[in-house]
A = this chain, B = another copy of it.
Amino acid sequence: MSKELDADQVAGNGLLDRRVFLRQGGGIIGAVGAAVGLAGYSRPVEAETLVVPEWTKKPGALFEPYTQPSKYETKVARGPIPPSPYNGIGPGSVRAPLQHLEGMITPNGVHYERSHNGVPDIDPAGHRLLIHGLVKKPLVFTLDALSRYPMTSRISFVECAGNSGGMYAEKPAEGTAQSLHGLVSCAEWTGVPLAMLLEEAGVDPSAKWLVAEGADAAAMSRSVPIEKVMDDALVALYQNGERIRPANGYPMRLLLPGWQGNMNVKWLRRIKLLREPAQTKDETSKYSLLLKEGKVAQFHFPLDAKSVITKPSPGVNMTSPGLYEISGIAWSGNGKITKVEVSADGGKSWAEAALSGPVLSKAITRFRLPWRWSGGPAVLQSRAIDETGYVQPTREKLIGLRGSRSQYHCNLITSWGVAANGEVKHVYA
């Protein structure tokens, strides 16, 4: 290892300064890039490259009204598709292929889905949103009516309360970033602030909660404190520019930025204002957080800061020693991500990753850090810190707080073990 390499190393086992690749402009990239040995993945020019490829020799395909991904990208799919209980229908979830995605936006085709009785086939012309309960005037909104109200757009993640639940297990579960952590996605949502609709209905001062109900066959229902609704809840109609897809709540869903996914009720059809939580089946039979010594936090809404490295990760293995970029996602239900730290030695030393802007409150933030892999064993970890100062906990710390029988809101630090052959596996470290 040359002197320049030592100078750039900022943490153990080959982690390099995040600024190495950040600067644009030839001079700096040249000087530093050369020092860290950027070259080496390109190849000298061979005869083949001057051959005109087959696809250039014939006219290409005609225009499509709505495009699809390349046929070579079939691995970029939601999964695993769960077995189907209840005669082919029933509750379950499919996960976003985190290890094949980049940036902060999840494309609509692979946004994760949790549904409790399948995706209803809703004709938007027949869909209604009812607001009633402790209000002066109960009101009904058609989709056309809602479309006349002022809208707000925001980029926000949605994460299932049960995401990463397997991380509580005694032994490290085999799996990928997708199968272990894929119940999180991020999109630009546009809709009508629910506060505006409630004001129109006239909220009775005794109303402290509301219950939101979906039009799916499970009539999925959750109670929400009214303060959250007045703060930033949307009746979302659009996802990444187009109407929300059926799997994500077409024609409308509740969006509660940063709060557990299940509360972001899809196929929203009814909002009833109440004095107390409704204690629906969906908030009493599940989604309560087991703590130590037999205690339970029934309501535990915001999702704490969390991160996961997506590249490398199981299935996205190392090919040969040398320079890599570690890439991953971080998010917090309590505000902006302010820092992500990465370790290549199982948490002994940490280096600060670069955050890809825009860094937005309650949105996924992409982080990246250069790493020179020696070809030896390594344990990669990331930990997110948000603007409240909260630090993503180790496995030991989280289980110390909650015990090992907990199921939800698992945000402990994930460890990816890298073997000398380049294979990456989920490990505990």
User: Which A residues contact B (CB, under 8 angstroms)?
Assistant: 20-21, 24-26, 29-30, 33-34, 38-39, 41-46, 48-50, 53, 55-70, 72-73, 76-79, 81-82, 84, 86, 88-90, 92, 94, 100-111, 113, 115, 117-128, 130-132, 137-142, 144-146, 148-153, 155, 188-190, 193, 195-201, 203, 215-217, 219, 230-232, 237-243, 245-248, 250-251, 269, 319, 322-325, 327, 356, 358, 360, 366, 368, 370
Contacts and interface: CB of A to CB of B under 8 A. Distances in A.
A242 B69 contact: yes
Number of copies: 2
A66 B246 CA distance: 12
A245 B38 contact: no
A183 to B, nearest CB: 13
Contacts of A26: 195, 198-199, 203, 230
Contact of A49 (B29, B33, B43, B130): B130
Contact of A102 (B103, B151, B245): B151
B216 A33 contact: no
Contacts of A360: 358
Contacts of A72: 123-125
B368 A150 contact: yes
A88 B59 CA distance: 9
A246 B70 contact: yes
Contacts of A82: 63
Contacts of A203: 26
A102 B44 contact: no
A285 to B, nearest CB: 18
Nearest to A322: B148
Contact of A188 (B103, B109, B149): B103
B111 A59 contact: no
Given A20-B150, A38-B196, A66-B109, 20 more contacts: A25-B195, A33-B200, A38-B149, A44-B139, A49-B130, A50-B130, A56-B215, A58-B217, A60-B120, A60-B216, A62-B81, A62-B84, A62-B89, A63-B115, A69-B108, A70-B122, A102-B241, A109-B242, A110-B241, A151-B325
